[in-house]
Amino acid sequence: MKIGVPKEIKPQENRIGLTPDSVKTLVSEGHEVLVENNGGFEAGFENDQYIKAGAKIADTAADIFNDAEIIVKVKEPQKVEVDMIRENQIVYTYLHLAAAKELTKGLIKSKSINIAYETVTDDNGRLPLLAPMSAVAGRMSVQAGAHCLEKNQSGRGLLLGGAPGVTGGMKLFLQMNK
């Protein structure tokens, strides 16, 4: 199959649908992979890494949507992308359709085949594609909380680990926020 990986265009989204290692695996299984020019740059991947993994670099997202049988993304397609999706093209990404009426209508109108990462279950009913995202979010919550505690963020200026010579800093914080 011909698999296309466009650059994510949703604001503040820097990930890419496939890493060079994933591309290498797919190419070794006989698939052709197209990656949009500099599509992985914001995620820390260069075009050369994708080329070494066996991908071909496409100039534009339009080239990818036009040529690929499968589109692999991270976030839900934006309006300009929905307009490029073809009938029977497979789109594999997070969709979150419950809160996206226009996206849902657009995908239905395209007559594409859409697989939402957040709905894929394993034989035990677990969500193996959603679980890693939840683990990352859990770890990031501590970092985000620490950032919010900083004085310049209108926080209380407390350190999560406390400060030398100050007793009960975290205990005080937890009591104040019950």
Q: Are 40 and 97 part of one and the same domain?
A: yes
- Residue where a domain terminates, one of 75, 97, 119: 119
Looking at the structure, tell me whether residues 74 and 95 fall in a common domain.
yes
Nearest to 69 by CA among 90, 83, 94, 97: 90
Question: Does residue 124 form part of some domain?
Answer: no
| Predicted confidence band of residue 172 (pLDDT cuts 50, 70, 90) | low
Q: Are residues 78 and 136 in the same domain?
A: no
Give the pLDDT mean for 99-103. Answer: 93
Do the beta carbons of residue 62 and residue 6 sit within 8 Å?
A: no
DSSP code per residue over the chain: -EEEEPPP-STT----S--HHHHHHHHHTT-EEEEETTTTGGGT--HHHHHHHT-EEESSHHHHHHH-SEEE-SSPPPHHHHTTPPTT-EEEE---GGG-HHHHHHHHHHT-EEEEGGG---TTS--TTTHHHHHHHHHHHHHHHHHHHSGGGTS----TT--TT--SHHHHHHHHT-
pLDDT at 51: 98
Mean pLDDT throughout 12-25? 96
Average pLDDT over residues 115-119: 94
Two tokens, residue 154: 């209108």
Q: Which pLDDT does position 139 carry in this prediction?
A: 87
**67 vs 109: CA distance, rounded Å:** 20
**Is the predicted pLDDT of residue 24 greater than 80, yes or no?**
yes
pTM over 0.95: no
Tell whether 96 and 147 lie within a shared domain: no
Q: Do 26 and 46 have their domain in common? A: yes
Same domain, 60 and 140: no
User: Could you tell me the pLDDT band of residue 138, with boundaries at 50, 70 and 90?
Assistant: confident
> Would 67 be classed as within a structural domain?
yes
115 and 147 fall within a common domain? no
Residue 58 CA to its chain's centroid (Å): 20
Is residue 126 domain-resident? no
- Do 31 and 102 lie in one domain? The reply is yes
For 83-96, write each residue's pLDDT tens digit: 999 999 999 999 98
Q: Are residues 12 and 97 in the same domain?
A: yes
Region of 96 (left: φ > 0; alpha: ψ -120 to 50; beta: rest) is: left
pLDDT digits (tens, 9 = 90+) for 36-70: 999 999 999 999 999 999 999 999 999 999 999 99
Domain range for 150 is 131-176
Q: Is residue 125 part of a domain?
A: no
Position 173 pLDDT exceeds 60? no
Q: Which residue has the higher pLDDT, 165 or 64?
A: 64
* Rounded percentage of the chain residues whose pLDDT exceeds 70: 90
Together in a domain, 153 and 108:
no
Q: Considering its fold, how many domains does the chain have in total?
A: 2
Given the residues 44, 60, 83, 96, the one annotated as active site: 96
Distance of CA 56 to the CA centre of its chain: 21
Give yes or no: 96 in active site. Answer: yes
